[in-house]
């Protein structure tokens, strides 16, 4: 009896090849998960930054002496809410007859689901005509 030589792979060789492939692919799958999480965090941070910029633009035009608290609709279901408190005494300007004071503003941007997108604080001047008390 002579044994004929067969060509191809044995079952053991195939299993070893599958194990090597699995060991090589596992770190790639882990890396893909990390990349996905990083991309989601980056997207959330960009949305937060855009909301903060919009809120700052709206607050720039607000007069804290006349409206120490309030809300603005930022569109897309987002709302800016703020509360301001004076951190200096009101002073009357020499030119123009205005009463001015510095205010500390605590602001929050809330999405349509009531979730806080961003929270920040800023100082800003409030004013009114000195004769309009």
Convert the pLDDT of each residue in 12-36 to its tens digit: 999 999 999 999 899 999 999 999 9
Element (H, E) at 105: strand 98-110
- Cα gap 106→91, rounded to integer Å: 22
Instruction: Look over the chain and give the mean of its residue pLDDT values, rounded to a whole number.
Output: 90
Would strands 98-110 and 78-86 be described as parallel, antiparallel, or unpaired? antiparallel
C-alpha distances in Å from residue 45, one per residue of 41, 51, 57: 6, 10, 18
**Where in the chain are the domains?**
11-129
d(Cα 92, Cα 131) in Å, to the nearest integer?
10
């Amino acid at each position: 009896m002579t044994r004929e030589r067969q060509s191809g792979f044995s079952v053991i060789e195939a299993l070893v090849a599958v194990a090597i492939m699995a060991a090589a692919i596992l770190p790639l799958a882990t890396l893909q998960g990390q990349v996905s999480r990083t991309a989601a965090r980056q997207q959330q941070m960009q949305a937060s930054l855009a909301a903060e910029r919009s809120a700052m633009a709206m607050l720039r035009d607000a007069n804290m002496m006349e409206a120490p608290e309030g809300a603005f609709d930022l569109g897309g279901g987002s709302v800016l809410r703020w509360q301001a408190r004076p951190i200096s005494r009101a002073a009357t300007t020499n030119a123009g007859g205005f009463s001015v004071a510095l205010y500390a503003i605590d602001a929050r941007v809330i999405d349509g689901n009531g979730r806080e997108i961003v929270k920040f604080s800023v100082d800003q001047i409030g004013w009114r005509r000195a004769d309009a008390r």
